[in-house]
Structure 1
Amino acid sequence: MSASGRGRDGRPTAVVTGVGVVAPTGVGARGHWESVLAGKSGLGRITRFDPSGYPVRVAGEVPGFDAREEVPGRLVPQTDRFTHFALAAADAALGDAGADPAAFPEYGMAVVTASSSGGTEFGQHEMERLYRNGPSWVGVYQSIAWFYAATTGQVSIRHGMRGPCGVLCCEQAGGLDALGQARRLLDTGSHLVLSGGTDASLCPYGLVAQMSSGHLSAVDDPARAYLPFDPAASGHVPGEGGAFLTVETAESARRRGAGHYGALLGYAAGFDPPPGSGRPPVLAAVIRRALADARLGAADVDVVFADACGTPEQDLAEARAVTEVFGPGAVPVTAPKTLTGRLYAGGAALDAVTALLALSKGVIPHTAGPVGPAPGCEIDLVLGRPRRTAPRTALVLARGHGGFTSALLLGAGDRADRTH
């Protein structure tokens, strides 16, 4: 980034000035980061409903979250848990950035989020009322609370953000796609963008829908249920929560006297070919395009935050893509999401926050759970404990069910002394 706040291609440099986290590892970026460094897992037996009749009984649940303390009272019965998470995380991201929406032009502030399943739990309860009691029992808010864009709308309304607003439905990849869109919006004149994603699908309806992918782990031991890249990998664990980020141009942050966690250096996305087509997955090509967008080479990347699907086939495909671009064992690879489970729309946004915190703290967090890479996975998987290697550039990878594939390159910022 030049002194003018523009990248080498002349576009404004997008920087992250604030983050907000609501995750199984903690509510708040500080608690989340402390859990990540300590390898403290947020996985356990599902408590939001009785899972005994289901093959999947372990998940990552957000601890101690009380919507009545985090969300305006009138919104609690009108919105789903995934929107409650988003409102709390968005508030935290703005507060962390020191950004008062009243100080920005209302049409210069944008909101772009990721959504996977929308208001699943709210929708399930309303469908129960419909089938048990009839149409007159369905609440009026069903028409908006289940909607995948409900979070975008509620965040923009609450903070008076009347600029471009949107939602991307790309499952696990959506959090990176939302940040890619946030960068585009800054290019076209937006002053500030709230971006990220949350999910809350830990209800019977949501769990059954997730099981259809065939990628969920049925292991009952939380410590052994989610072991990406490990010889004992058996799928992933579902989770709830996510993260929001305040994204501005470097020039805007400098005018406000605001520090930043890091910059969005490069982004790319693609879509896997259909199974049986004979064509390879697109992940390696997407990584190369993200590097080209950032005008970086493979040797410039200090750490890769893996997608880590947790199934042997998908893990091997990801490991091969990383090896194809960087070389065998040439770059540290980590997957802190083993502590939270895969959060779908919230997962990649949380990975981006974790990567930014890693850059700001000069440490690569480890992957808790796995004992070592499975045969064929020729990657330098960070295990056992964090590595203090002062990384400056991180690559975050995400793949969504159905073929969505995204990559985001992040560069270190100037907020090494603050984690809220």
Structure 2
Amino acid sequence: MSTDTEGLALDDTVVTGMGVVAPTGLGRDEHWTNTLRGASAIGPVTRFEAGRYPSRLAGEVPGFDPAAHLTSRLLPQTDHMTRMALVASDWALTDAEADPAQLPEYGMGVVTAVSAGGFEFGHRELQNLWGKGPEHVSAYQSFAWFYAVNTGQISIRHGLRGPGAALVTEQAGGLDALGQARRQLRRGQPMVLAGAVDGSPCPWGWAAQLSTGRMSEEPDPVRAYLPFDAEAGGYVPGEGGALFVLETEEAARARGARRRYGRMAGYAATFDPPQGSGRPANLERAARAALDDARLGPEEIDVVFADAAGTSEEDAIEAEALRGLFGPHGVPVTAPKTMTGRLSAGGSALDVATALLALREGIVPPTINVSRPRPEHTLDLVTAPRRIPLATALVLARGQGGFNSALVLTGPC
């Protein structure tokens, strides 16, 4: 590993741009302002008639007008989720002052994660098939619903001919996409656009999430999603996420990049054993491996952005992992996703964006609405903005089916 005179590894992965589309705001600044305010974006579902479903709340992205950002040619062939991802990719590249046309032909890749694909698009076309006949099904159905559609549409839009990938590990996917991007950079790729924008606010996607038995049925938005709380009763789904421009430090310097949000210092992923096996969950193992990858000890982590599943069983597993790693009340823990709901793959990507902004500003954003944290969890749960020195953050994510991922971030270079 080569280093410069200040000891910074030139193949370190640095974040030079971000694009955020979230229930808490369109764009980085609006999202950060509302997050610090503790402004909840959870409310009644508006994208479809949810009155007949037991769960009727969601974190929806407000004021998103795709026609204001995308050409009319793209609109008929894209799902709502993909439209948000395309806009986030535009904003990330602009933020990084990165022009793919100025790079070598294969100089930029793209890695995204998603859990459901373009289910809203697919649901509409299935309705057309059942109600009107096959001649009314869009030809774009062949790809608009697909899990890899965001990677494909982003690469086409920006002419990105470098390595491409699409990952499906549910909530863990946002971190896994960044981990895969870092592998590409270490193999010699100078720049990768990576992250996740996800969400399926439609009856098809809703039915899939209801089948897990983990969605909250509480009608009050203030009480519906309470991770680590004595009244935790499930999660509220949402939509949105974040995309990032990632580069090696050497490549960023070579093109004169002016901004560094921070550095991806460590990443690891594990898989849980089958339920009923009697073997422990592996979230703590993933966190320890990420710290080892970053060459940091637990005492060097300043804040944890929790997965915050919102069910008593899953919250207890995460609390046990944090207690095993840091000790009781050993590190500030926050879950800003209490303002947005769980955004599937986009949730952990949004946590990364929030963590990077927290490191830059020296403020831990709050976990809202949690008024009765379970004392047995022994967590230092941050329920109001807390200004403390911040140099490192650990982001945790768990995906349905046993996926665990952990990412260590360090502050601006």
Compute the TM-score of the two structures, normalised by the length of structure 1.
0.96
Determine the structure 1 residue equivalent to 2:343. 343
- Structure 1 letter corresponding to 2:346: G
| Residue pair 1:7, 1:13 contacting (<8 A) in 2 also | no
Offset from partner CA, 1:77-111 (integer Å, 9 cap, x none) = 10111110100001101111111111211201000
Q: 1:48 to 1:5 in 2, by over 3 A?
A: farther
Deviations 1:195-217 (A, max 9, x none): 01111311111111111111110
Amino acid at match of 1:126: E
State the one-letter code of the partner of 2:405: S
2:300 counterpart of 1:300: yes
Per-residue Cα deviation, 1:222-259 (whole angstroms, up to 9, x for no partner): 11111100001111100011110110111122221422
How large is the RMSD of aligned CA atoms in angstroms?
A: 1.5
Please give the secondary structure, in 1, of the residue aligned with 2:215.
Answer: coil
CA distance in 2, matches of 1:108, 1:376: 50
Structure 2 equivalent of residue 181 of structure 1 = 180
Match of 2:97 in 1: 98
Q: How far apart are residue 185 of structure 1 and its match?
A: 0.5
**For 1:283-305, what per-residue CA distance to the aligned partner results, in whole angstroms no more than 9, with x for missing partners?**
01111100100010000100000
Counterparts of residues 27-46 of structure 1 (less than 5 Å): 27-46=26-45
Q: Deviation at 1:24?
A: 0.5
Deviation (angstroms), 1:375: 3.7
2:377 is the alignment partner of 1:377: yes
Matched residue type, 2:232: A
Question: 1:220-239 to 2 correspondence within 5 Å?
Answer: 220-239=219-238
SS at match of 1:166: strand
Say which SS state the counterpart of residue 227 (structure 1) adopts: coil
Q: Distance in 2 between matches of 1:372 and 1:261?
A: 34
Letter paired with 1:297: G
For 1:5 and 1:67, locate their aligned partners in 2 and report how far apart those are by CA, in whole Å. 46
1:16 counterpart = 2:31: no
Deviations 1:374-403 (A, max 9, x none): 1421110001x2111021000000000010
Residues 148-194 of structure 1: per-residue CA shift (max 9 Å, x gap): 10110110111111000010000000000000011101001111110
Task: Tell whether the 8 Å contact from 1:104 to 1:191 is kept in structure 2 after alignment.
Answer: no
Q: Quick check: 1:372–1:381 contact (8 Å CA) kept in 2?
A: no
Q: Structure 1 segments of 4 or more deviating over 3 A?
A: 5-8
Unaligned runs of 5+ in 1: 415-420
- TM-score normalised to structure 2 length: 0.97
CA contact (8 A) 1:5 1:249 kept: no
- Give yes or no for the alignment of 1:290 onto 2:290: yes
SS of the equivalent of 1:396 reads strand
* Deviations 1:297-330, CA, capped at 9 Å, x for gaps: 0001000000000000000100000010111001
Q: Letter of the aligned partner of 1:322 in structure 2? A: L
Task: Give the secondary-structure state (helix, strand or coil) at the position aligned to 2:387.
Answer: coil
**Alignment gaps of 5+ in structure 2:** none
Which residue does the alignment assign to 1:67?
66
- Comparing 219-228 with 246-255, greater Cα deviation is found at 246-255
Per-residue deviation, 1:6: 10
Looking at structure 2, the residues matched to 288 and 388 of structure 1 have their Cα atoms a distance apart, in angstroms, of 26
C-alpha distance in 2, partners of 1:140/1:284? Answer: 46
Mapped to 2, the partners of 1:139 and 1:200 lie a distance apart of 21
Q: One-letter code of the match for 1:177?
A: D
> In the aligned structure 2, how far is the partner of 1:357 from the partner of 1:218?
32
Structure 2 CA distance, aligned partners of 1:162 and 1:261? 25
Q: Name the aligned partner's letter for residue 208 of structure 1.
A: A
Whole-Å Cα distance in 2 between the matches of residues 11 and 128 of structure 1? 52
Aligned to 1:363: 363
Show the 5 A alignment for 1:7-406: 12-255=11-254, 256-383=256-383, 385-406=384-405
Distance 1:110 1:139 in 2: 29
**Is this contact kept in 1: 2:96–2:257, CA < 8 A?**
no
| Residues 2 and 190 of structure 1: CA distance in aligned 2, closer, same or farther (over 3 Å) | closer
In the alignment, the residues of structure 2 paired with residue 178 and residue 141 of structure 1 have an alpha-carbon distance, to the nearest angstrom, of 25
Corresponding residue SS for 2:106 = helix
Letter in structure 2 aligned against 1:270: T
Contact 1:177 1:406 in 2 (8 A): yes
Aligned to 1:417: none
Instruction: Give the AA of the match of 2:297.
Output: G
Between the two proteins, the alignment pairs up a number of residues equal to 412
The CA deviation at 1:345 is 1.4
Rate the CA distance shift 1:211–1:11 in 2: closer, same or farther, 3 A.
Answer: farther
- Residue identity in the other structure for 1:374: R
